Amino acid sequence: MTAPTHDRGDGAVASAETPVLQAVRMRKHFPVRGFRSKKVVHAVDDVDLELYRGRVVALVGESGSGKSTIARLLAQLMHVTDGQILLHGEDATTKSRAGFRRYVSKVQMIFQDPFASLNPVHTVRYTLTRSVKIHRGRLRGDELEKALDELLDRVNLRPTARYIDKFPHELSGGQRQRVAIARALAANPEVLLADEPISMLDVSIRLGILNLLRDLRDRLQIAILYITHDIASARYFADRTMVMYAGRVVESGDSESVTQDPKHPYTQLLVRSAPDPDDLDARARGARGEAPSLVTPPDGCRFNPRCPFATEMCRVELPPLFDVGVGRKAACWGYSERPGRPRLGSVLDAYGQRPPIDVNVVVRADADLAAAADAAATGTPGQEDLR
């Protein structure tokens, strides 16, 4: 396994190698339907992210923080509003169907919902054969059978004959997710974007799927983006962890440090609320404080309406990512040298005093998941925003 090798000096750990996949100042603003004015949802703003061979980066945050949008942007299922996606250091923006298919053969996505991401009318054989043929050419007969057998074997669906002719409804959630992973592996990808791959599965089988992904990381040296609600699983599984809040990265670093010694007040709250950040309110001693509207995000630090340490500076100016340790960053004015900076303390002691803020609910018109999953697996575009 090739690991990052040195501190770049600006707090970020640089690697001797180029990241397999990289996002630079990536941004996604969705137009809000039904508004005459040009209102947008600030789903993702200025996100930098690097994925290395044989390493896992976890992206953690509560619902609506922009995690899935990042995965879909990296899968190029939708266009970035701004910023760049680089594959092996080169601009990877796909401009044609053939380019999209080539990209998809290197960057595969696993969706949260294994019940919706496999087409219910097709057997495992059909689903895997389609991907094998698209990504590896026209295999036939024994060669094709061998490829299908290897795929099921790699995701531990054994004996493979028991699964190959099953329909999705004949499989458990964990088995379906394994088929979805096998479909992704049919492309021999260099990157897996796993969007909450275990959150809809029974707790008892989650670890099995994480261990499978870990095995793929180690044996196939795949770079993995692991999106999760659960910061505890990030510690278990990921080499690095990035914490999102309201569309922005607020903290990053090696997973052990971020989870054991969180620096950003939001991460501190998140660690305390694990495993379910959507349960923040209940756990933070009855404190309220909803996620902010992404149509009109708060000025300054987006966490300021919920943060007990916020000062005037926080309400006006957006904090950049400050160095807070080797390879660690946190976007909080508390780590600046500026006069009038906030004095950080125990976020949990103070949290109960914050008033709630209004949530502006944005109704989301999601694309059909099975179509999105098919496009992400095969590079065959389907519908709007999937080009």
Ligand X SMILES: Nc1ncnc2c1ncn2[C@@H]1O[C@H](COP(=O)(O)OP(=O)(O)O)[C@@H](O)[C@H]1O
Q: Which stretch binds ligand X (CB under 6 A): 97-105, 210-218, 321-329, 357-365?
A: 357-365
The number of residues that bind ligand X (CB under 6 A) is: 15
Whether omega before 159 lies within 30 degrees of 0, making that bond cis, reads yes
Instruction: Pick the binder of ligand X from 19, 22, 30, 216 (CB under 6 A).
Output: 30
Judged by CB under 5 A, does residue 117 bind Mg ion?
A: no
Is the distance from CB of 26 to CB of 84 less than 8 angstroms?
A: yes
Judged by CB under 6 A, does residue 334 bind ligand SF4?
A: yes
Q: Which residues pair with 338 in a beta bridge?
A: none
Query: DSSP string of 91-149?
Result: E----SHHHHHHHHTTEEEE-S-HHHHS-TTS-HHHHHHHHHHHHH----HHHHHHHHH
The amino acid that residue 335 corresponds to is Y
- Count the neighbouring beta carbons within 10 Å of the beta carbon of residue 367: 16
Task: Kindly state the smallest distance separating residue 268's Cβ from ligand SF4, in Å.
Answer: 10
Q: Which does 265 bind (CB under 5 to 8 A by kind): ligand X, Mg ion, ligand SF4, none?
A: ligand SF4
Judged by CB under 5 A, does residue 127 bind Mg ion?
A: no
Sign of CA dihedral 130, 136, 138, 143: negative
Task: Kindly state the smallest distance separating residue 301's Cβ from ligand X, in Å.
Answer: 18
Task: Kindly state the smallest distance separating residue 264's Cβ from ligand SF4, in Å.
Answer: 6
Strand 6-7, strand 56-60: pairing: unpaired
Task: Kindly state the smallest distance separating residue 361's Cβ from ligand X, in Å.
Answer: 8
Q: Which does 334 bind (CB under 5 to 8 A by kind): ligand SF4, Mg ion, ligand X, none?
A: ligand SF4
User: Dmax of the chain from CA atoms?
Assistant: 72
Judged by CB under 6 A, does residue 298 bind ligand SF4?
A: no
Query: DSSP string of 308-353?
Result: TT--HHHHHS---PEEEETTEEE--GGGS--TT------HHHHHTT
Judged by CB under 5 A, does residue 228 bind Mg ion?
A: no
- CA-nearest of 190, 313, 242 to 67 is 242
Describe the crossing of helices 369-378 and 124-136 by its angle, rounded to 10 degrees.
40
Collect all residues with Cβ–Cβ distance below 8 Å to 67 and sequence separation of at least 6: 59, 60, 61, 195, 196, 227, 244
Judged by CB under 6 A, does residue 294 bind ligand X?
A: yes
Collect all residues with Cβ–Cβ distance below 8 Å to 100 and sequence separation of at least 6: 76, 94, 379, 381, 387
Residue number with the smallest Cβ distance to Mg ion: 68
Gap between the terminal Cα atoms of the chain: 36
Burial of 98 (0-12, 13-18, 19+ CB in 10 A): exposed
Task: Kindly state the smallest distance separating residue 225's Cβ from ligand X, in Å.
Answer: 12
Judged by CB under 5 A, does residue 65 bind Mg ion?
A: no
C-beta of 134 vs 227, nearer to Mg ion: 227
Q: Which stretch binds ligand X (CB under 6 A): 57-65, 180-188, 249-257, 327-335?
A: 57-65
Instruction: Pick the binder of Mg ion from 26, 53, 61, 68 (CB under 5 A).
Output: 68
C-beta of 60 vs 151, nearer to ligand X: 60
Tokens for 317, please give them: 């100016």
Q: Which does 65 bind (CB under 5 to 8 A by kind): ligand SF4, Mg ion, ligand X, none?
A: ligand X
Site mask, ligand SF4, residues 354-383, x = CB under 6 A?
------------------------------
Task: Kindly state the smallest distance separating residue 10's Cβ from ligand X, in Å.
Answer: 27
In the window 255-294, what residues touch ligand SF4 (CB under 6 A)? 264-265
Is the distance from CB of 163 to CB of 179 less than 8 angstroms?
A: yes
Q: Which stretch binds Mg ion (CB under 5 A): 65-73, 180-188, 272-280, 332-340?
A: 65-73
Judged by CB under 6 A, does residue 301 bind ligand SF4?
A: yes
Judged by CB under 6 A, does residue 243 bind ligand SF4?
A: no
Contact set with ligand X (CB under 6 A): 30, 41, 43, 61, 63-69, 294, 362, 364-365
Chain positions contacting ligand SF4, by CB under 6 A: 264-265, 301, 303-304, 307, 309-310, 314, 319, 332-334, 342
Task: Give residues in contact with Mg ion (CB under 5 A).
Answer: 67-68
